[in-house]
Amino acid sequence: MVVRAHSHACRSHGFANGFTLVEILVVVLLLGVTVAFVAVNLGSDDREILRGEAARLAMGLEQAQDEVVMTGVPLAWRGGADGYQFVRRGADGGWTSLDGEGAFPPRRLALPVRLVDVEVGGVKVAAGALVVLSPSALAAPVRIVLEANSERAAVEVGATTRVVMGSGV
């Protein structure tokens, strides 16, 4: 009898066992909003990382182009999925890396950015192929496409250098 009275007393004061449907729905809603907020913030971070890598690549290509024009010594650019480097033509006619030179160190792309496409004069170039920088503004335009998840950025080098952002690049 005491047990029944105690159970009845607990229910009358609102001490029920378990959660109501409304409480569960509120928790699920809060979790959904939190996950959506985190996903949006991570997406914008990827976009900023992509924009930074594209700008860094554009500046490096522009600086290398300027050096070619000023010195007359041929430079080339070589890219792979995870990074790129600049190389210089040596006295023997071969290409040597500029690893030890401060202005053109090899660059590893920040994750999740990767290099997905290189075109010279509208023709696709194989990964790892050399793109020789010309001292002439009449050289074929170069287009390098970087990607981070669903976002893309293109670095276009011609008479001028520019970065184009967007998923339709």
Range of the domain at 44: 5-72+109-165
Cis, peptide link before residue 105, omega less than 30° from 0: no
Q: Please state whether the predicted TM-score (pTM) of the whole model is above 0.75.
A: no
What the block records as the tokens of 73 is 């010594």
Asked, for residue 45, whether it belongs to a domain, the answer is yes
pLDDT tens for the 169 residues of the chain, in order: 445 545 454 455 555 678 888 888 888 888 888 777 776 665 568 899 999 999 999 999 999 888 888 888 888 999 998 999 999 888 888 888 877 666 788 999 999 999 999 999 999 999 889 999 877 756 788 999 999 998 999 999 887 777 888 756 6
Asked, for residue 100, whether it belongs to a domain, the answer is no
Asked, for residue 47, whether it belongs to a domain, the answer is yes
Give residue 41's pLDDT. 60
Asked, for residue 24, whether it belongs to a domain, the answer is yes
Asked, for residue 90, whether it belongs to a domain, the answer is no
How far is the C-alpha of 6 from the C-alpha of 3, rounded, in Å? 5
Q: How many domains does the chain have?
A: 1
First to last CA, the chain: 77
Give residue 48's pLDDT. 93
Asked, for residue 89, whether it belongs to a domain, the answer is no
Asked, for residue 155, whether it belongs to a domain, the answer is yes
What the block records as the tokens of 105 is 């160190």
How far is the C-alpha of 151 from the C-alpha of 44, rounded, in Å? 10
Contact predicate 113/49, CB 8 Å: yes
